[in-house]
Amino acid sequence: MAGVQHDAQVLDSHVHGAQLAGTQGLRRRALVGAALLTGVTGLVGCGKAVEKNGITPVDGTGGGTATARPPKPPTPPAPLGTPTPADWKALAESLSGKLLRPGDAGYPVAHQLYDPAYDSVLPAAVAECSDPADVATTLKFAERFKLPLTGKSGGHSYVGASTNHGGIVISVRPIAGITFDGTTARVGAGTPLKQVYTDFEAKGRIIPAGSCPTVGVAGLTLGGGLSLGNRAYGMTCDTVTQVQVVTADGKVRIANATSEPELYWACRGGGGGTLGVVTEFWFKTVASPLIGTFSVQWNWPDAAAVVQGWQRYLRTAPDEVWPSLRLTANPSGSQTASVFGVDVANDPGQALDRLISAVGRKPHTHSSTPDRRFGPDPDGPRTVFYAGTDILGTPLTDSGISAVLAAMNTRAHDTRLAATAIFDPLGGAVSRLAVDATAFPWRRSFASIQWYSERGGATGQQAREWIAAGHKAVAGSAVGGYVNYLEASRPSGKLYFGPNLDRLRAAKAKYDPTDVFKLPYAL
């Protein structure tokens, strides 16, 4: 669904890495879809809708196509061809939001993604849409002139799917309001996670969400939504009760369990950028708990025992505990094996003791802190990075662990690459839903891996070779990948959606039969 390609409504879901407050760890991005802890209370919920921008959606129990301010035609019908300055002027005047073109003051920032590697990709225009009618108007303009079209929320797509060259980017960033009705929150698709957390702090409510403050809520949610709260509360997409979507035909639709159910299903884990532009979400929330966090680090010679012990611990850990394993190589030549954990039961000392016992090796450092709350990471600079993904269906074998450590040694350490293999646990609440309950397919899997790298003292090619070596190392246990960590070199839809791919393709055929939203991956 376009609207926020993962992060743009495209990947952001990314779950770009995250460091937790008060801990060393992953460089920021490594974990986007994982909620961080900083003392900020969390996120959104579900409930009755409120009229906004002329659209009166249903309250989550029924509905259909919403009524909306009719899109204003940017120009009278004319032969196809390159838009003239008059055409662009007419489009700009027809929007409530802004149309930014090369040379305009706001364009250099508006067209950027989180990754500076895509700064040279220059769309002909960025439509900063303020409501669904703006989205529909821009859609019709792009269709008339056969221009490439891309949705964008936060712009964190790993493969740059939040932009295009020479076409139009539909940015939903201005659609960023949050309204509450009891335990329900209606959240604009352009809302960054920092705002989501801030607005929820006063409400004492959360949903499982990401940690990177600038990630768009749409990108995270559309790809599924990995977070530190997954085992206790499920995926971010599991908390969605309703979505508002502008589909390829320009219609503003309300999708929920009873109205447009296949569109609703696809918007929960099917990735962004393929079926339409999502403009709003309705989330169900839970009370924000006090939580405990723990951090433990071992010296590199103990790395194999750490991976083995973490896997043993995860098999029996309560759903309230989320322990993330990180294997890190630094450009300086140092390497560490560490675990950062969250305990929703707020007893981090006991969780830490059980983990250390499972590993059976004395840690180099360890600590635990109770009485914290979910919240986002601090903001950071835009960063060029390289990333990949695997989903482990089963724990790694001893030979698989040896292969991962060999990749960390020869492909990362020896080249002075800045690299982290991030193993995030699944299970718990994630596994309580059926595989086809939402489009996110990995309900029965053991863990996700994000291979995250910055060049450090190495080259981009060496970073890519390390990621490829990681894929090969875990191939015996891997069953797929996470679409919010999508890789341009691995575009197969089967890899990201497994048994749910055919159903997603059917939804694509229904809601975008002429392939208005063209993306070179996933479907």
Q: What pLDDT, in 10s, does the model give residues 391-434?
A: 999 999 999 999 999 999 999 999 999 999 999 999 999 999 99
Closest CA to 7 of 208, 230, 163, 234: 163
Task: Please tell me the predicted confidence (pLDDT) of residue 274.
Answer: 87
Task: Please provide residue 467's backbone torsions phi and psi, each rounded to the nearest 5 degrees.
Answer: -60, -45
The domain 4-9+41-50+175-287+501-511 is placed in CATH, from the list 3.30.465.10, 2.40.50.70, 3.20.20.240, 3.40.50.300, at 3.30.465.10
Q: Are 33 and 377 in contact (CB under 8 A)?
A: no
Mean pLDDT is highest, among 7-16, 42-51, 364-373, 510-519, for 364-373
**The domain 288-498: what is its CATH number?**
3.40.462.20
> Which residues neighbour 218 within 8 Å (Cβ) at sequence distance 6 or greater?
3, 4, 7, 8, 9, 12, 153, 154, 172, 189, 190, 272, 278, 281
82, HSE (Cβ side, Cα atoms, 13 Å): 4
Closest CA to 220 of 229, 210, 211, 230: 210
Confidence of residue 13 (pLDDT cuts 50, 70, 90): very low
| pLDDT (mean) for 437-443 | 98
First vs last Cα of the chain: how many Å apart?
11
**How does pLDDT run across 102-153, given as a tens digit for each residue?**
999 999 999 999 999 999 999 999 999 999 999 999 999 999 999 999 999 9
| pLDDT (mean) for 191-205 | 92
> Which residues neighbour 254 within 8 Å (Cβ) at sequence distance 6 or greater?
57, 58, 63, 64, 65, 66, 242, 243, 244, 260
Phi/psi region, residue 521 (left: phi>0; alpha: psi -120 to 50; beta: rest), is beta
Structure tokens at 73: 């035609």
Q: What's the CA gap between 503 and 483, in Å, rounded?
A: 16
Question: Which residues of the chain does CATH 3.30.465.10 include?
Answer: 4-9+41-50+175-287+501-511
> Which residues neighbour 402 within 8 Å (Cβ) at sequence distance 6 or greater?
304
Q: 193-204 burial by CB neighbour count: b if 16+ within 10 A, else e?
A: bbbbbbbbbebe
Confidence of residue 34 (pLDDT cuts 50, 70, 90): very low
CB count in 10 Å sphere of residue 88: 17
Question: Which residues of the chain does CATH 3.30.43.10 include?
Answer: 85-171
- The pTM of this model reads 0.87
> Which residues neighbour 86 within 8 Å (Cβ) at sequence distance 6 or greater?
75
Task: Please tell me the predicted confidence (pLDDT) of residue 145.
Answer: 96
* 357 vs 14, higher pLDDT: 357
Q: What's the CA gap between 323 and 362, in Å, rounded?
A: 18
412, HSE (Cβ side, Cα atoms, 13 Å): 28
Confidence of residue 44 (pLDDT cuts 50, 70, 90): very low
SS3 180: strand
269, HSE (Cβ side, Cα atoms, 13 Å): 31
Strand order of the sheet with strand 168-171? 98-100, 125-128, 168-171, 149-152
| pLDDT (mean) for 480-488 | 95
User: How far out from the chain centre does Cα 311 lie?
Assistant: 25
Task: Please tell me the predicted confidence (pLDDT) of residue 204.
Answer: 94
Task: Please tell me the predicted confidence (pLDDT) of residue 71.
Answer: 45
Strands, E, within 72-154: which ranges? 98-100, 125-128, 149-152
The one-letter code for the residue type at 389 is T
**How does pLDDT run across 287-296, given as a tens digit for each residue?**
999 999 999 9
Confidence of residue 80 (pLDDT cuts 50, 70, 90): low
The one-letter code for the residue type at 349 is G
CA-angle at 470, arms to 466 and 476, nearest 5°:
160
| pLDDT (mean) for 23-35 | 34
Task: Please tell me the predicted confidence (pLDDT) of residue 522.
Answer: 64
**How does pLDDT run across 343-374, given as a tens digit for each residue?**
999 999 999 999 999 999 999 999 999 999 99
Q: What's the CA gap between 1 and 6, in Å, rounded?
A: 9
Structure tokens at 245: 């979507």
Question: Which residues of the chain does CATH 3.40.462.20 include?
Answer: 288-498
Confidence of residue 189 (pLDDT cuts 50, 70, 90): very high
Helix (H) or strand (E) holding 3: none
**Partner residues linked to 339 by β-bridges:** 296, 325
Topology at the third CATH level for domain 85-171 = 3.30.43
Structure tokens at 457: 């003292």
Q: Is it the case that residue 299 has pLDDT exceeding 90? A: yes
Structure tokens at 473: 């190392």
Residue whose token pair is 């996120």: 43
CB count in 10 Å sphere of residue 114: 27
DSSP label of 408: I
Where does residue 292 rank: exposed (0-12), middle (13-18), buried (19+ CB within 10 A)? Answer: buried
Q: What's the CA gap between 456 and 357, in Å, rounded?
A: 34
SS3 301: helix
User: How far out from the chain centre does Cα 33 lie?
Assistant: 5
SS3 326: strand
Task: Please tell me the predicted confidence (pLDDT) of residue 251.
Answer: 97
Residue whose token pair is 């950071």: 380
DSSP output for 46-74: ------BTTB----SSS--BPP-PPPPPS
Q: How far is CA 356 from CA 21, 294, 339, 348, in A?
A: 22, 11, 10, 12
> Which residues neighbour 144 within 8 Å (Cβ) at sequence distance 6 or greater?
78, 80
Average pLDDT of the chain to the nearest whole number: 87
Percentage of the residues of the chain whose pLDDT score is greater than 70:
84
Task: Please tell me the predicted confidence (pLDDT) of residue 353.
Answer: 98
Q: How far is CA 441 from CA 24, 424, 435, 511, in A?
A: 32, 16, 5, 21
* 213 vs 68, higher pLDDT: 213
Q: Are 518 and 145 in contact (CB under 8 A)?
A: no
Q: What's the CA gap between 49 and 519, in Å, rounded?
A: 32
